[in-house]
Every structure is written in C-alpha cells, then in structure tokens.
Amino acid sequence: MTITETAPDTEPGPATVSSLEALATGTDHVFLGRVWAVAGGLFLLLSLAVGILVGIERINLDGADLFGSGDEVFQFWSFYRVGLVLLALVPLLIGLATAVIPLQVGASSIVFPRAAALALWTWLIGAAVTAVGFLADGGLGTPNAGSQREAIALTMVGLLLVITGVLLATVCILTTLVVARVPGMTLRRIPYFSWSMLVAGTLWLVTLPVLAANAVLAYVDLRGRTAVHFGAEDAIWDQFSWAFTHPQVYALSVPLIGIAFDIVPVTAGLRQRNHDVVLAAIGLFGAIGFGAYAQSFFDTPGTPVMEEALYVVSAFLAVPLVLVLLGGLADSLQRGAANFKGRPPAPLVLSLLSMLLLLVGTVVGAVRSIAPFELLERSTTGAQMTFTIGAALVGVIAGMLWWGDRITGRKAPQGLGLLAGLVVSAGVLVIGLSDTITGFLGMNDFFGIDEVTAGSPDGGVEVLNGVAAFGSLLLLAGVLAWVLVEWRRLKGSEADADPWGGHTLEWATSPVSVTSERPLLDAAAVPDEGAS
C-alpha cells in the first residue's frame, strides 16, 4: 500500500513581530546592551548641554545671566552631575558590559535575560522621571528653598527607579560572570574588562543601595508635611553629594582599567605580564572606591569624615595604584613595540588616554585632601569628578570602538572615532585643569550668582571659568562626533569576525578550550617569552 501525504502549499512562516514589540520584549544581551548604550548616550548629550549652560552662567560670578535665580542655577548644576553619572556613564558601562561580558566568558546569553530587560526599562522610566523632576522645578533641593516639593518627591522616585534598574542589571551581569563561565575559565582567567566589572559591580551593589536609603529618607521626610531634617530643601543635595565625589567616583571608573588592559596587550600582540598583580590592583582600586561612608552631611561635630584617615589615605593610595597599572600597560607596549605597524589603533590611543586622565584625577583627589590647601569645598571637587568620570567616558568610547564591530557586525570609521575621543579628552582636560586652578584661587564647588556664594575667589577666576565653558563645548562636540561614528557604523561595511586578533573568547570564531586567561593566544600557540 502506498501512503500519499500532501504537503501544504506554503510553510507557515515565523510570526511577524513589529519593531516596537521587538524593542519592548527583546531579551538578547547584545540588543539590550545597545539599547542601554543608546539611551545612555541620549542622556549624556542632555547632561552635557546642561553642563554648557551652567558653564556659561559661571563666567560671570556676580549675577544671573542665563537663569532666573541661584536656586535655578543649583538645579541645573546638580542635574549635570546626576545626569553625567547615573543617567549617562553608568548606563553606558552597563550597556557595554551587558553586550560584551557574556561573550567574554563564553555564555550563550546573559543570565536572567527577562530581569535584564526589566532592569533596562526600570532604569529608562526612572531616568525620564528624574529628568522631568528636575525640569519641573524639583531636583535635589535648592539652597534657598526655591523649588517645588512635589517635583523634588518626583525626582526621588525617579532616582529610586534608576538605582533599582542599575542594581538589577548589575545582578544579571555579575551572576553571568559567576555561574555562566565556560569550563576551564576560572575567575582568575576571565578577561580584564569582565574582572573590572566584577569589582565595579560589587561596589555598586554595596554603595548604590545606601544612596537609595538616602533617597527614601528624604522622600519620607518631605512628603506632605514640613521636613524635619532629611527632606529639607537645602539638605537634600548634601546627602547625595558623596555619590559624585571622592572616593565613590573611583567605583564608577574601575571598568575603564579593564578596557585598557583588554586592548593594550592585544594590540601589542603579547600576554600581559604580572596578570595576578593587575587583577589585585584593579580590585584594590575598586575597594578604595567604596564611598558610602563618606557622607559629610552626617558628620559628628568636630570629626569631619573628610579629614579622617580612611578618606585621606584612600585619596593618596589611588595615585600609586594607577601608576602601577599604567606601568603594566607601559611594559606591554614596550615589549610589543616591534609588533606595531603603522598608526596605533584608535582604541589603544584612547584607552591609554583614559588611564592618563584617571591618573590626573587621582592626583587632583590627593591634592584636594591635603587639609592646609582647604580645597574640600572648592571647585577642585568638581575637577576631580570631571577627570575621573571623563576618563571613564573616554574609556567607554575606546571600548565601543574596540568591541563595536563584534557587537554590531559593522565597521566604524576608526579615524573619526579617534578624533571624537581626542576632542572629548581635550574637553575633560580643559574643564578639569580650569576647575583645579579656580579651586586654588578660592572658588567654591557651587558658585551661585553672587561672589559670596562663590567663595569670594581671587581675580582671574572668571577668565578660567570661560576657559572651562569652552572645555564643556569641546566635550559636547566630541560626544556628538562619537554619536556620528556610531551612526555611520550602522551604514558601514560588514566587520571581520576578529579584526584585532583578539586573545579572549569574544573573538573566537571556533570552539577553543580555556587553559589560561588568553585562550585564543594559547590556541594560536604564539611563542611568548614574556609570560609570567
């Protein structure tokens, strides 16, 4: 007997998914990483635009040129800091980590993909609410109680959502690092960027909840009644400021070290020497970045936390640690000098620049903590933040130029990327140096609209403030150029699977076994006399 089966005329195709549905329901780690990065980039542009306005306002210290009052200046000044850190840098780092880390450890996807998507949307909604809170005359309070209390409460809610989203994303990334590594990849063998995110993420998990506690206290105190203490408008920023100054800024910049150490040895074509020392130095740098204790708002009278040994020692310890790490990079560059042909690649230049900016930031931080200079409340505080956060931003640009081909499958114009990174670095340098000098000249971190609030600084400050405003313009121009790079990448040609000759798993084009921290180097059996 013959059985005849009639095949259907057409095979059922895959269900069509609208782009909006795909955006809202996507859980692929590369996709999530890209959305994090795009959203972080948009908030970066917004923050930098606000920074330019504040910079222009600061040129004339005796009067309001752009804003209506000192309170308005304060709202924009504080938004610039909050935006730069929590709405821009942290999401950019999370985006890079979400996309790259599963590939680096050989995982097929990020662990808890739906939680990772929830984290993204929680953060995004929180970031929008935070921005609206600031624009609706709220923010983190004002010195003269000139803001809307309901809008301040809205800002608190937004910040809590932002922190929740960041923490949830961090849990997903760290869990991927801990449990989803391929066999053979011990924690000592994970790539440097993954290691630095492990360190940074751990610090975020233990410090950002403390910031959330500050927000909840302020919210409970100001909501619907006269504030007793924590929700007083002139007190809110003082409770939050620790998250944007020394030493917490180091916790935010740790990943740039990992980016540099993933890029430099590969471009030098050799294995990083003293691997364990580098891991330990990154861990120690992260440890000194624990800043939740440094809340001067809760100082016991007579014993300010900024004059305590831990605070001062951590400021001084950061400098030799970064020098040790730079020494490691310099060693690789020196040993691999013969391998360089032609111009150095853009990610190499930018990652080294980011490390140098970080070094300058730590030096400024150490100088700031020397009591006789009386710089703790001066604009040097902002200078240290600019150098450190700016360094991390340059590191992110280097990282995107390095891993972008792998993440997007498209080539970026590396020359334009290099130019963008250089302009951003120049902007950071100009702002940071100007603010450091104005700090020595006696200008306060927050300057207000009168000389007294500005700390009655010496002459020449306003010229330097003009220079800093120019630096802000450079910074924005550099970031716009970077956005253009990424835009052109979308239309770029197809990228090679391993354009750099990478050493770690994200560049693997065929299965490899992991027997060291550089599995692809082992697989290629490259003779390496300098290995530790």
Partner 1 sequence: MIDTTLPAPPARPRTLMVGATMATGAVVMFFGGLFAVYFSMRADAMAWGSEWYPEGAIQLSPGGMNMATLTVSTVAMAWATHSVARNDRIHTYLALALTAVMGIAMINQTVFYLNDIALPVDYSISTTLLFTIVGAHMVMVGVGVLWLGVLLLRAFGGQDTSRHRDLVSAAALYWYASVAVYSVIWIGIYIGK
Give the one residue of 207, 354, 386, 408 binding partner 1; rule: CB under 8 A. Answer: 207
Q: Give min distance, CB of 229 to partner 1, in A.
A: 5
For position 531 contacting partner 1 by CB under 8 A, the verdict is no
For position 179 contacting partner 1 by CB under 8 A, the verdict is yes
Give the one residue of 4, 108, 226, 510 binding partner 1; rule: CB under 8 A. Answer: 226
Give the one residue of 114, 188, 229, 343 binding partner 1; rule: CB under 8 A. Answer: 229
For position 303 contacting partner 1 by CB under 8 A, the verdict is no
Burial readout 72-97 (b: 16 or more C-beta within 10 A, e: otherwise):
bbbbbbbbbbbbbbbbbbbbbbbbbb
Rg (CA), the chain: 24
- Span from 16-24, 201-209, 247-255, 423-431 in contact with partner 1 (CB under 8 A): 201-209
- Span from 167-175, 394-402, 413-421, 478-486 in contact with partner 1 (CB under 8 A): 167-175
Give the one residue of 27, 175, 274, 516 binding partner 1; rule: CB under 8 A. Answer: 175
Give the one residue of 17, 298, 310, 450 binding partner 1; rule: CB under 8 A. Answer: 298
For position 301 contacting partner 1 by CB under 8 A, the verdict is yes
Q: Give min distance, CB of 146 to partner 1, in A.
A: 22
183 or 511: whose CB is closer to partner 1?
A: 183
242 or 403: whose CB is closer to partner 1?
A: 242
Q: Give min distance, CB of 179 to partner 1, in A.
A: 4
Residue 6: exposed, middle, or buried by beta-carbon count in 10 A (0-12, 13-18, 19+)?
Answer: exposed
Give the one residue of 75, 194, 214, 248 binding partner 1; rule: CB under 8 A. Answer: 214
For position 118 contacting partner 1 by CB under 8 A, the verdict is no
For position 505 contacting partner 1 by CB under 8 A, the verdict is no
Cα 342 from Cα 345, distance rounded (Å): 9
Collapsed DSSP state (helix, strand, coil) of residue 494: strand
For position 446 contacting partner 1 by CB under 8 A, the verdict is no
For position 199 contacting partner 1 by CB under 8 A, the verdict is no
Collapsed DSSP state (helix, strand, coil) of residue 122: helix
35 or 243: whose CB is closer to partner 1?
A: 243
Say what angle helices 29-57 and 380-408 make with each other, to 10 degrees: 150
294 or 420: whose CB is closer to partner 1?
A: 294
Tokens 């009639």: give the residue. Answer: 6
For position 217 contacting partner 1 by CB under 8 A, the verdict is yes
Closest CA to 214 of 197, 199, 196, 229: 229
Q: Give min distance, CB of 231 to partner 1, in A.
A: 8
Name residues whose C-beta falls within 8 Å of residue 169's C-beta, 6 or more positions apart in sequence: 36, 94, 98, 116, 119, 120, 123
Pick left, alpha or beta for residue 460 (phi over 0 → left; psi -120 to 50 → alpha; otherwise beta): left
For position 213 contacting partner 1 by CB under 8 A, the verdict is yes
For position 114 contacting partner 1 by CB under 8 A, the verdict is no
Tokens 């996507």: give the residue. Answer: 26
CA atoms within 13 A on the CB side of 62: 6
- Are 254 and 163 a contacting pair, CB within 8 Å? no
168 or 475: whose CB is closer to partner 1?
A: 168
Pick left, alpha or beta for residue 391 (phi over 0 → left; psi -120 to 50 → alpha; otherwise beta): alpha
For position 206 contacting partner 1 by CB under 8 A, the verdict is yes
Cα 228 from Cα 245, distance rounded (Å): 26
Name residues whose C-beta falls within 8 Å of residue 78's C-beta, 6 or more positions apart in sequence: 134, 139, 140, 237
Give the one residue of 17, 23, 178, 313 binding partner 1; rule: CB under 8 A. Answer: 178
- Biggest CA-to-CA distance, the chain: 105
For position 212 contacting partner 1 by CB under 8 A, the verdict is yes
Q: What DSSP state is assigned to residue 377?
A: T
DSSP for 413-455, written as a single string: -HHHHHHHHHHHHHHHHHHHHHHHHHHHTT-BSS-TTSTTTTT
Q: Give min distance, CB of 152 to partner 1, in A.
A: 16
Q: Give min distance, CB of 223 to partner 1, in A.
A: 9
- Span from 55-63, 110-118, 243-251, 436-444 in contact with partner 1 (CB under 8 A): 110-118
Q: Among residue numbers 257 through 296, which ones bind partner 1 (CB under 8 A)?
A: 292-293
Enumerate binding residues for partner 1 (CB under 8 A).
111-112, 115, 167-168, 170-172, 174-175, 178-180, 205-214, 216-217, 220-221, 225-230, 292-293, 298, 300-301
